[in-house]
Structure 1
Amino acid sequence: MAHVGSGATHAVVPNNKNESVLEGMRVVQGRVQFAKEHIDRLYQSAKAMAMDLGLSKRELLGLIHETIDKNNMQQANDIHIRLVVSRGLKSTPYQNPSVNIGLPLVVIIPEYKSVDPSVKVKGLRLITSHIRRGTPDVKDEMWNHISKATDIQACIGANVVGADEALMLDPNGFVKTCNSTNFFIVRNNEVWAPTRAYQMQGITRAKTIDICRANGIPVFEQDFTLTETYGADEAFCTGTFPSHIPVREIDGRVIGNGSMGPVTKRLNELYKQVVQKDVRRQRSEILAKL
């Protein structure tokens, strides 16, 4: 749905897509999984970029619900939504927001999309990228911003050598994240998560840490090295679409026994329970939380 100013007497051109923020969401039985967290993150990124959506959070979620219903997706469990908000139309192709006309453009793209179950069985093969995560004074990695050139370059590097994802380091050389998912390791039954700095604040990442704390699983957000990663008992990636995917190999080193370990498996099962509790709520209850 577009929110565009009216009465313009001059030509308009599309917005530069780099002036956009996005969210990837899962929909189960017509309910957006962890809707509040996703909507809050979108608005935080938009505010950091000085973008006023012209919509309340409830109105935006209402539009998402309307899109789901119009596409008869209320009963499906494998719906992925890509929500993109760009700054909108411009009077001239120029990056300065002062030449924008009206409110931002909101695009809601729903699709049927499920995770290949074999991926959780065989696990991921990662390769460490030479491309480092950026500092917040250049482009804050906390933004869910459509300009992901560094992540894409890291992904291309992984593709070239036949790896599934790229493992990326921070400016200090500590392990940080993968190019499209968050990263964890397990050592001596302790879950280690890289610190929040220099990475996307993943919702599945946060839920995983919360689940650990709620279930007596030791969890630490800390810096750690590739050497400690190679020697981990388990490693896994998290994301809204895949939830928890085990990592079998990093830079040619097999992690643990090369399959999903017991801690990762337990976290995956506990996460499913949290998701089911969240999506059992009525839409009206979800809207009331925004």
Structure 2
Amino acid sequence: MRTVYLNGEYMPEDEAKVSVFDRGFLMADGVYEVTSVLDGKLIDFDGHAVRLQRSLDELEMRHPSSKEDLLEVHRELVRLNEITDGMIYLQITRGNPGDRDFAYPPQDTAPTVVLFTQAKPGMADSPLTKTGMKVISIPDQRWGRRDIKTVQLLYPSMGKMMAKAAGADDAWMVEDDHITEGTSNNAYIVKGNTIVTRQLGHDILHGITRAAVLRFAREAQMSVEERPFTVAEAQAADEAFITSASMFVMPVVEMDGAAIGSGAPGPVAARLREIYLDESRKTAI
């Protein structure tokens, strides 16, 4: 049985309880982060900590602990649950005000802090890297502040199910005829020698893996263009791929039934995945 962390205590997962009045449960009034673990070490922890602080600030929610304390909790959960490869999920909500109200509770209301691990043996060697992912396009019907990593994930969940029903692996969301991102990942195409991905703004999540991969791409002298692209551009691209904390860099080989490039994983995605995993392992903590 897993050991989880709840409001300052480590406990068996079946003993962890959160109030029915918690605003994360009633209002989706909370934020989260997912940090990958490879070889027992945390990947990109600093980036996730910075984004967590930004999400909390955007929602005027106070941070319950320091980055150093948060790091210690992550490391202790890795140790207690003997995680070699996997993920640590962190969620902070505005807490339990004792009743339900649309207005924020008093500032001194204690936030709810939850962390738990998910073991994913061999997550760096996913068979999808050999076959590539298939995606479909769906309308982007989320709220306008997708840059805040909130726990309101209903529409992305619906998108995953739409993809599953269509025999695909994921869905790329479309707004004003241009792709925003995947249901739980950032989206990219490759045309010629140029990697194209949507620029940062309120309409996409500011991916931690995205930032690292683009930095590594530029360091490897690859051309990067940050701009919106259409479904037609994606279908006519030489390659496509996604990035996320749990899938790293993963090739996309089909969109809406049309093969992308050769219909097989391409060299740019493969090279970026190799660089990302190599460099991330070097700096893992």
Q: Give TM-score, length-normalised by structure 2.
A: 0.87
* C-alpha deviation, 1:94, in angstroms: 2.3
Deviates more, 1:176-185 or 1:108-117: 108-117
Letter in structure 2 aligned against 1:184: Y
Letter in structure 2 aligned against 1:21: V
Q: Which runs of 5+ in 2 are unaligned?
A: 1-5, 10-18
* C-alpha deviation, 1:229, in angstroms: 1.0
Residue number in structure 2 paired with 1:175? 179
Letter in structure 2 aligned against 1:206: A
* C-alpha deviation, 1:199, in angstroms: 0.6
The Cα offsets for residues 35-66 of structure 1, whole Å up to 9 and x where unpaired, read as 11001111110111111123112111122222
Residue number in structure 2 paired with 1:122? 131
Letter in structure 1 aligned against 2:181: T
Residue number in structure 1 paired with 2:191? 187
Matched, 1:131 2:140: yes
Letter in structure 1 aligned against 2:178: F
How does 1:1-290 map onto structure 2 within 5 Å? 1-2=6-7, 13-17=20-24, 18-73=28-83, 76=84, 78-98=85-105, 102-114=109-121, 115=123, 117-132=126-141, 134-135=143-144, 140-170=145-175, 172-197=176-201, 198-279=203-284
* C-alpha deviation, 1:93, in angstroms: 2.3
Q: Cα–Cα, structure 1 residues 3 and 103, in superposed 2: closer, same or farther, change >3 Å?
A: farther
Percent identity (aligned): 28
Distance 1:58 1:117 in 2: 32
Q: Cα–Cα, structure 1 residues 134 and 97, in superposed 2: closer, same or farther, change >3 Å?
A: closer
Q: Number of matched residues?
A: 265
Asked if 2 retains the 8 angstrom alpha-carbon contact of 1:185 and 1:229, the reply is yes
Q: Give TM-score, length-normalised by structure 1.
A: 0.85
The Cα offsets for residues 88-125 of structure 1, whole Å up to 9 and x where unpaired, read as 12211223222587321111101211437221111111
Asked if 2 retains the 8 angstrom alpha-carbon contact of 1:187 and 1:234, the reply is yes
Asked if 1 retains the 8 angstrom alpha-carbon contact of 2:30 and 2:93, the reply is yes
Secondary structure, counterpart of 2:214 in structure 1: helix
Q: Cα–Cα, structure 1 residues 163 and 29, in superposed 2: closer, same or farther, change >3 Å?
A: closer
Q: Which runs of 5+ in 1 are unaligned?
A: 5-11, 284-290
* C-alpha deviation, 1:159, in angstroms: 2.1
* C-alpha deviation, 1:133, in angstroms: 5.0
